[in-house]
C-alpha cells in the first residue's frame, strides 16, 4: 500500500533518510532533525511531499519529492529527492509501487516529467531505473551551491561587469 505521509510519520521519515544516508556513505552530511522535517514537510509552507510504502501495516519505504518546473514546456515536473526501501523489503515491488504512484501523481498534476538523480556507483539502482524505461541524462552536469559558498554568493558584490 502506498499512502501520503502524515505528521505522525516524521520519526519514520527521518529514520529512512538516515538509513539512506548510511547506504550512500553520506551519513556525515545528514543533519536533518524531526523538527526540521515537521516544519518543512507539514508546516505552513510545505516544501516537499512524502509517500510511504507499507507492508502488513508497517512502513517499509518512502518517496520524498517536490515540484520543479520546465520552462521549455511551461509545465511543472516532479523531482524525486529520495527513494528508499528497507533492505529486508527490497525486491518485493515496493520501489516500483512508489515510482508508479509518483508517475500517477505527475500525470494527474499535468507534469511534463518525473526525474531524479542517482549516485554513479549505485549500479543496483541504476539497473532498476533502466528496467522501468528511465533514461540517464548524461549530457547534464549538476551544480550545487551550499554552505559557505552559498553564503559568500549572498554577501558578495556583483555588478553587470562581473557577469
DSSP 112: S
Distance, CA of 138 to CA of 40 (rounded, Å): 31
DSSP 93: S
Contacts of 99 (CB under 8 A, 6+ apart): 63, 80, 83, 114, 132
Active-site position among 23, 47, 69, 129: 129
Please state, as a whole number, how many other Cβ atoms lie within 10 Å of the Cβ of residue 38: 15
Residue 23 annotated in active site: no
Catalytic residues: 129
Amino acid at each position: 500500500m502506498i499512502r501520503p505521509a502524515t505528521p505522525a510519520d516524521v520519526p519514520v521519515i527521518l529514520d529512512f533518510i538516515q538509513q539512506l544516508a548510511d547506504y550512500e556513505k553520506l551519513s556525515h552530511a545528514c543533519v536533518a532533525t524531526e523538527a526540521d522535517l515537521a516544519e518543512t514537510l507539514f508546516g505552513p509552507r510545505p516544501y516537499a511531499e512524502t509517500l510511504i510504502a507499507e507492508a502488513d501495516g508497517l512502513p517499509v519505504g518512502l518517496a520524498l519529492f517536490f515540484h520543479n518546473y520546465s520552462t521549455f514546456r511551461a509545465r511543472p515536473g516532479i523531482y524525486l529527492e529520495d527513494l528508499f526501501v528497507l533492505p529486508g523489503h527490497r525486491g518485493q515491488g515496493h520501489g516500483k509501487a512508489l515510482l508508479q504512484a509518483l508517475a500517477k501523481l505527475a500525470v494527474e498534476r499535468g507534469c511534463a516529467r518525473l526525474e531524479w538523480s542517482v549516485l554513479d556507483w549505485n549500479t543496483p539502482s541504476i539497473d532498476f531505473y533502466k528496467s522501468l524505461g528511465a533514461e540517464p541524462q548524461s549530457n547534464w552536469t549538476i551544480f550545487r551551491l551550499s554552505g559557505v559558498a552559498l553564503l559568500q554568493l549572498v554577501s558578495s558584490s556583483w555588478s553587470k561587469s562581473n557577469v
